[in-house]
């Protein structure tokens, strides 16, 4: 078998921030589930846009506007191919996963949710895939219900059909849990929901950087992700929606670009897809940065990335399990490169603070997934999350720093 390879040391040269020294220690960045670092090609693309191409796009007749428009719409086509959507107008640019979910929760529910209806999510969701649905249900006097998960971090799918009743108007769930690392079997779940004619939204914020996503193969109705979790800038995101739903849904925001005509006497007619959902001046520079990040991932190969990160996760899991009193939270068989843990008798914040002074950047707390913490009856975890630029040597440094932290705290 040909084992895919990643030239890790050359890759790390593309990320200058990884050469930083913090508190007189080399930076070990293990907070990739919160945000990924940006390769130089992404940063250079943004700088080049502002130095050489900056203009507002669409409808501009001058040269800079035209070349910027062509570049911007070329990214839409690139993402269509990246996700294997049918049409480029099924790709809507947003500020991130959170706005994408809010867009669907507000617009879809305004059209299709009525009093007494249900919205179905899971208990392992990020707050961004809970609160927008709660707001929509409160507005419409509907009910939000939750698919539970077990102690290993797997959804209890034996109960799924019980939840997929004729009151459910939409199911929204995460592809990969940001707090547990669980990779949910979303293709199976989508198929079962569609048997009941229930559309499905997938929160792909944690997935796109680690897995190949094919929206046609999954047959999801909506899929969303954030650029900053996939080596692109902050402030840009993507909502994929099937043409059928996007045509039926009303606009999310009003303003420029999302209109065809505006009349003081006869009202407004809305623009075609995707512009109906893209009010205002778009974030052109970061869309172009997103393209460079996607190209970077494509060049590395998503299968190569997945293999490398799986190997790194397995190594880190084995290493950290050897620490007395350490308990990993989230032990699903199918996981992405997220390792959440607690240590008996020690608050996660205290561990994270000491790790920081030793140059190790991890995340502590509830990770915007408080229902997950409630399930385990804990206040939070320490979360180390890995990317393709991390190394086993950095895992060893995490291990050594944890040993030092425990010596100080016990």
- Domain segments of the chain: what residues? 8-30+301-409, 43-298
Which of the following is catalytic: 109, 137, 224, 368?
A: 368
- Predicted pLDDT of residue 269: 80
Q: Say how far apart CA 401 and CA 356 lie, in whole Å.
A: 9
- Predicted pLDDT of residue 395: 98
Element (H, E) at 168: strand 168-174
How does strand 168-174 pair with strand 200-203? parallel
Instruction: Count Cβ neighbours within 10 Å for each residue of 343-357 and write b for 16 or more, e otherwise.
Output: beebebeebbebbbe
10 Å CB burial of residue 59 (0-12, 13-18, 19+) is: exposed
262, 241 in Cβ contact below 8 A?
Answer: no
- Predicted pLDDT of residue 79: 98
Residue 137 is a catalytic residue: no
8-30+301-409 and 43-298 have identical folds: no
Q: Is the pTM of this model over 0.75?
A: yes
CATH number for the domain whose boundaries are 43-298 = 3.40.640.10
What ranges in 219-283 are assigned the alpha helix state H?
243-248
- Predicted pLDDT of residue 101: 98
Residue corresponding to tokens 């040391």: 9
- Mean pLDDT for back-to-back runs of 10 residues, the chain (410 residues): 69 97 97 98 98 92 94 98 98 98 98 97 98 98 97 96 97 98 98 98 98 98 98 98 97 81 78 89 97 97 96 97 96 96 96 97 95 95 98 98 93
Q: Which of 222, 355, 353, 235 is nearest to 290 (CA)?
A: 235
- Beta-bridge partners for 29: 361
Q: Say how far apart CA 132 and CA 123 lie, in whole Å.
A: 15
CATH number for the domain whose boundaries are 8-30+301-409 = 3.90.1150.10
- Predicted pLDDT of residue 3: 44
């Amino acid at each position: 078998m040909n084992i895919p390879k990643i030239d890790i040391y050359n890759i790390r040269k593309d990320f200058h921030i990884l050469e930083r020294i913090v508190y007189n220690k080399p930076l070990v960045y293990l907070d990739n589930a919160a945000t990924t670092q940006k390769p130089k090609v992404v940063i250079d693309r943004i700088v080049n846009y502002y130095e050489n191409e900056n203009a507002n796009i669409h409808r501009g007749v001058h040269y800079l506007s035209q070349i910027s428009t062509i570049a911007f719409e070329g990214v839409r086509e690139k993402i269509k191919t990246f996700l294997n959507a049918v049409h480029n107008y099924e790709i809507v640019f947003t500020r991130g996963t959170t706005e994408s979910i809010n867009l669907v929760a507000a617009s879809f529910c305004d059209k299709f949710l009525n009093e007494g209806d249900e919205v179905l999510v899971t208990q392992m969701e990020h707050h961004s895939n809970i609160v927008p649905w709660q707001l929509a249900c409160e507005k419409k006097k509907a009910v939000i219900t939750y698919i539970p998960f077990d102690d290993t971090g797997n959804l209890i799918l034996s109960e799924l059909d019980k939840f997929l009743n004729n009151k459910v108007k939409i199911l929204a769930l995460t592809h990969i849990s940001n707090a547990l690392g669980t990779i949910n079997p979303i293709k199976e779940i989508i198929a079962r929901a569609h048997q009941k004619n229930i559309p499905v939204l997938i929160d792909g914020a944690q997935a796109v950087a680690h897995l190949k996503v094919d929206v046609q193969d999954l047959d999801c109705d909506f899929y969303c992700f954030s650029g900053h979790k996939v080596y692109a800038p902050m402030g840009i995101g993507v909502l994929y929606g099937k043409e059928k739903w996007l045509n039926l849904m009303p606009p999310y925001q009003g303003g420029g670009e999302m209109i065809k005509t505006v009349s003081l006497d006869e009202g407004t007619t809305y623009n075609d897809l995707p512009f109906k959902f893209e009010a205002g001046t778009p974030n052109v520079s970061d869309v172009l940065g997103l393209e460079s990040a996607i190209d970077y991932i494509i060049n590395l190969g998503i299968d190569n990335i997945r293999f490398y990160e799986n190997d790194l996760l397995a190594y880190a899991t084995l290493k950290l399990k050897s620490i007395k009193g350490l308990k990993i939270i989230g032990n699903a068989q199918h996981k992405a490169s997220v390792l959440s843990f607690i240590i008996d008798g020690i608050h996660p914040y205290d561990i994270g603070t000491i790790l920081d002074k030793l140059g190790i950047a991890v995340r502590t707390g509830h990770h915007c997934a408080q229902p997950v913490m409630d399930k385990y009856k804990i206040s939070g975890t320490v979360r180390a999350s890995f990317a393709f630029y991390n190394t086993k040597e950095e895992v060893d440094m995490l291990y050594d720093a944890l040993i030092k932290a425990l010596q100080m705290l016990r």
